[in-house]
Amino acid sequence: MKATTNAKIITAALCITALFGCQKGSTGSTAETKKEGPVVAEVNGSTITTGDFNNELKALPEYLKNMAETPQGRKEMLDTMVIRELILQQASKDGLDKSPEITQKLADLRKRLIVEAFLKKRVETDVKVGDDDLKKFYEQNKEKFRTGEQVRASHILVKTEKEAKDILAQIKAGGKFEDLAKKHSVDASASHGGDLGWFGKGSMVPAFEKAVSALKEGQVSDVVKSDFGYHIIKLTGKRPAGIRPFEDVKEQIKAAIMPSKQQEEFQKIKDELKKSAKIDIKEDVLNTLGSAKGDGKPAEAPAAPAAPEKK
């Protein structure tokens, strides 16, 4: 009963996401773009192609993608895309796509998208952090990368012992652990083949940790019960205590120093643009912003506290 309810909730989320998604080439205020792939549906002469469908699929949150890849999920998603196309067509007939409100919002959206594209190129794409910068940071902060003994494991988490035993039997018969994790596990790690990454002592619940400590690298556990359900665990790596090698933490360092590099680049862009621009800030008007009355008059400054009386 609970599984059915969860499936209905996910299906509803899928439909809502697709309904408010941004399908390229939809009838409405946006121009028709080049269609890709065979036509999967026609709606009053307008077409929805496999390219349109795949674009929608790519834009879905990760937790909905698996749902949309089932036959029922694909059917629900396409039906929602059809409904959205019908709404767009009717809204166009009603003239809503040309209303002042929509026109203004489209103009604002266009500005935001252009600014976003500019900054993405100049700040995200063009800013690079070289190996020299990464190694310098590593050498200056080695103690930050000291860890205790760690292990790496993958798991398959299911709700019932019977299902766990069935999956374990498939693994023993030669089934690939990662593929079975993607298919059956209810944990967020399923999309990564059950991989939980590296972790140290005390990071996992006791039952899980006890099972991991008894495994050799590459070995798969029996069914392990915890408060979360039933696990099948595979130990995929071990590393001793000490300072982690540069190559292991390279991406971590990059993620740590990239924001400051991007902030520096953003400041350079601001200074560069202002240098060649003529800017006149109207301080008197600026001071009216945030006025409680909203009447264009400067907000009154709060009264100074009265001086204490002399005794």
- Give the model confidence (pLDDT) of 42-97 as tens digits: 999 999 999 998 888 888 877 677 767 778 888 888 898 999 999 999 999 999 98
Count CA atoms closer than 13 A to 291's CA, side-chain side: 14
Identify the pLDDT of residue 175. 95
Which residue has better confidence, 70 or 184? Answer: 184
> How large is the average pLDDT for residues 122-144?
89
308: phi then psi, degrees, rounded to nearest 5: -65, 145
Q: Is the dihedral of CA 307, 309, 310, 311 positive or negative?
A: negative
Can you name the CATH fold of 149-240?
Answer: Chitinase A; domain 3 (3.10.50)
Is the per-residue pLDDT at 306 higher than 70? no
Least confident of 107-111, 119-123, 197-201, 297-301: 297-301
What integer is the mean pLDDT of 242-248? 90
165 pLDDT band, cuts 50/70/90, is: very high
| Residue 196 DSSP label | E
Percent of the chain at pLDDT > 70 equals 81
Q: What residue type is assigned to position 288 of the chain?
A: T
Q: Compare 36 and 18 and report the one with higher pLDDT.
A: 36
Q: What per-residue confidence (pLDDT) applies to 106?
A: 92
% of the chain beyond a pLDDT of 90: 53
**Residue type for position 236:** T
Using the CB atoms, write b or e for 78-88: b if 16+ within 10 Å: bebbbebbeeb
Give the mean pLDDT of 114-140: 89
d(CA 114, CA 121): 11
Residue 265's Cβ-side half-sphere holds a number of Cα atoms within 13 Å equal to 18
Mean of pLDDT values over 226-243: 94
- Highest mean pLDDT pick, 28-37, 122-131, 276-285: 276-285
Q: Which of 6-15, 67-76, 214-223, 251-260 has the lowest mean pLDDT?
A: 6-15
- Is residue 138 within 8 A of residue 246, CB to CB? The reply is yes
Tell me what pLDDT residue 28 has: 39
pTM for this prediction:
0.52
pLDDT value of residue 25: 39
Domain ranges of the chain: 2-97, 149-240
**Residues 260-292 pLDDT 10s:** 889 999 999 999 999 989 999 899 998 888 765
Q: Which residues pair with 47 in a beta bridge?
A: 42
For 62-81, the DSSP string reads HHHHHHHTSHHHHHHHHHHH
Contact 257, 110 (CB under 8 A): no
Residue 72 half-sphere exposure toward CB, CA atoms < 13 A: 6
What pLDDT sits at residue 289?
A: 87
Residue 125 tokens read as 């794409």
Residue-averaged pLDDT of the chain? 83
- DSSP helix/strand/coil, 151: strand
Whether 201 has a pLDDT exceeding 60, the answer reads yes
Measure CA 96 to chain center. 32
pLDDT for the residue numbered 266:
92
Contact predicate 91/83, CB 8 Å: no
Mean pLDDT of 9-30: 48
- At 6 the pLDDT is 46
Tell whether the torsion through CA atoms of 232, 187, 145 and 258 is positive or negative: positive
Which range, of 8-17, 145-154, 178-187, 274-283, averages the lowest pLDDT? 8-17
* Angstrom distance (rounded) from CA 122 to CA 113: 14
Spatial contact of 56 and 23, defined as CB atoms under 8 Å apart: yes
Asked if residue 24 lies in contact with residue 52, where contact means CB atoms within 8 angstroms, the answer is yes
pLDDT at residue 154, as a whole number = 96
The H or E element containing residue 229 is strand 229-239
pLDDT of residue 103: 92
